[in-house]
Amino acid sequence: MTTPMTMSAISDETFRSLTAAAPEIRPFWEAARRGKLLLAHCTACDRPHWFPRVVCPLCSSRDIEWREASGRGTVYSVSVARRATPPYALAYVTLDEGPTMLTNIVDCDVDGIVIGQKVKVVFMERADALPAPMFTPL
Amino acid sequence: MHLPSAYVTGAFEHPTRHAPDKSIAQLHAECALGAVADAGLSLGDIDGYFCAGDTPGASPLYMADYLNLKLRWLDGTESGGCSYLMHVAHAAAAIAAGQCNVALITLSGRPRSEGQATGTAPRAGNSSQADEPFETPYRPTIAGMYGMFARRHMHEFGTTAEQLAWVKVSASRHAQHNANALLRNVVTVEDVLASPVVCDGIRRLDCCVITDGGGAAILTRPEIARSLKRPLVRVAGTGHTMHTQGGGYVDAVRTGAAASGAAAFAEAGVTPQDIKYASVYDNFTIMVVMQLEDLGFCPKGQGGRFVAEGNLISGVGRLPWNTDGGGLCNNHPANRGGMTKLIEAVRQLRGEAHPAVQVKNCDIALAAGPGRVVGSGHGHATAVLVRE
């Protein structure tokens, strides 16, 4: 089993500091602190993209809004780092909404993860980092 | 309008693979001197300089000052390991436009001396890159990323670890003849499969070497090339591209080689079947397979079968490849491949490769490679060179 490094939540001060480089993405991280996965969704072409940005990479529109994702997805590919202690699973997960994101598969036996496996989002809470969305088998 | 051509008149690969007693600036300088000597020119003849992020200061200004070059044209295009193949295209364009007559391209680095865990240390992020907070938390390593591509390729096309091992086997058969190669021992498919798994999809012998060193090339106008005593190697076609992450619609089994290769073949007026020798970047065995498919040397998904038939081995197969031993066995200076790929293609066209791996009547060759990481967004460049 992979366990989170720490369960202590990030402070407001650290949160502001770590989101200062890209203030326009702050709503994503604020939602992540509440356990919600947001997608940047273009209302012009009606498609979400990943990673979030202010110009749609699919149609160039600036009509982007945040929408909450289902948090469900499918493993596109996975590779377990065997030299790390403990080994960890680097993965691409294709969200049910369409985009594929780089992530980790956690809270499971890393030897059992397969391409095509259904997964759901979990957020790793850390005091010294933003709450990154990761996934665990359904 | 058909622009006048540029010729590769100088090529030099630094013989060192471990240089703890030399600065990166010294390595660049030694490579520059080696390339101008190879061409029969001097540093005073250079009026165009091209370099990338490995150079001191990550700008052409610093080595130009160090060498006291008198320049009319500077280019610091940084696109990872394919930068130097992009520089070939840019130098040819600058020469054709009359902006310079003698172009120098240099690459150097010493990751081996500096103890870099190139493939297995999580990549350091840069907070100005908008994707950084969406990558760094997951501790992606180079080996882990390519491990995912290998596993996806296996999933979609049935590619096997045994097939991938043939890429390393082919490189090792060539490297045994290269006195400067870091790894000169011939390995078998069984050796590769018995090597430890680094990240799922990638075994230790699927990985390239980590070496110090570098290389340099000289491109000149046609009339200067003809005045020199070296065989004539013309830049016949070039192509480059950026293969993006697609806004999150990732296809991790395809590379920018499809676009850069097609452009280079079209400009040169040749097809993949015309290529007598190919330098194709080989940081991991899977990357060779994907690029061979995308360049059109075999159908998509058939790269594993193609390499397992021995097609990459000089004197044996249809497409002699990386006859210096490549990045997998010979050299991978500054963790970048483009320059060494160019140099071995020039050796083959000149007939100066090792006799055991020299391709007979090698008159059309290709050099190709990516920059940065496939899947995470990568540049790609291809050059087609012909001997006149």
With bands split at pLDDT 50, 70 and 90, how would you rate the model's confidence at B122? Answer: confident
Task: Decide if pLDDT at A6 tops 90.
Answer: no
Which of A76, A79, A98 faces B201 most closely, judged by CB atoms? A79
User: Of all residues in chain A, what percent carry a pLDDT higher than 70?
Assistant: 94
The tens digit of pLDDT for each residue in B88-112 reads 999 999 999 999 999 999 999 999 9
Q: Is residue B254 part of a domain?
A: yes
Task: Decide if pLDDT at B10 tops 90.
Answer: yes
- Domains for chain A: give ranges and CATH numbers: 12-137 (2.40.50.840)
Task: Decide if pLDDT at B26 tops 50.
Answer: yes
Q: Is residue B71 part of a domain?
A: yes
Q: Is residue B168 part of a domain?
A: no
User: Of all residues in chain B, what percent carry a pLDDT higher than 90?
Assistant: 91
With bands split at pLDDT 50, 70 and 90, how would you rate the model's confidence at B375? Answer: low
At residue B172, the pLDDT reads: 98
Q: Is residue B228 part of a domain?
A: yes
Q: Is residue B51 part of a domain?
A: yes
Which of B144, B150, B152 faces A76 most closely, judged by CB atoms? B152
Task: Decide if pLDDT at B118 tops 90.
Answer: no
Chain B touched by A58 (CB under 8 Å)? yes
Q: Is residue B62 part of a domain?
A: yes
Query: Where residue B240 sits, what CATH number does that domain have?
Result: 3.40.47.10
Task: Decide if pLDDT at A8 tops 80.
Answer: no
* SS3 assignment for chain B: CCCCCCEEEEEEECCCCCCCCCCHHHHHHHHHHHHHHHHCCCHHHCCEEECCCCCHHHCHHHHHHHCCCCCCEEECCCECECHHHHHHHHHHHHHHCCCCCEEEEEEEECCCCCCCCCCCCCCCCCCCCCCHHHCHHHCCCHHHHHHHHHHHHHHHHCCCHHHHHHHHHHHHHHHCCCCCCCCCCCCCHHHHHHCCEEECCEEHHHECCCECEEEEEEEECHHHHHHCCCCCEEEEEEEEEEECCHHHCCCCCCCCHHHHHHHHHHHHCCCHHHCCEEEECCCEHHHHHHHHHHHCCCCCCCHHHHHHCCCCCCCCCCCCECCCCHHHHHCCECCCCHHHHHHHHHHHHHCCCCCCCCCCCCCEEEEEEEEECCCCCEEEEEEEEEEC
Q: Is residue B301 part of a domain?
A: yes
For residue B107, give its domain range.
Answer: 7-114+208-387
Tell me which of B199, B243, B374 to substitute to probe the interface with A (most A C-beta atoms closer than 10 Å).
B199
Q: What is the mean pLDDT of residues B16-29?
A: 97
Task: Decide if pLDDT at B140 tops 60.
Answer: yes
Q: For chain B, how many structural domains are there in total?
A: 1
Q: Is residue B171 part of a domain?
A: no
At residue A1, the pLDDT reads: 40
Q: What is the mean pLDDT of residues A102-109?
A: 97
At residue B130, the pLDDT reads: 82
| Chain A nearest C-alpha distance from B26 (Å) | 35
Chain A touched by B355 (CB under 8 Å)? no
Which of A37-51, A86-100, A124-138, B125-139 has the least mean pLDDT? B125-139
Q: What is the mean pLDDT of residues B208-231?
A: 97
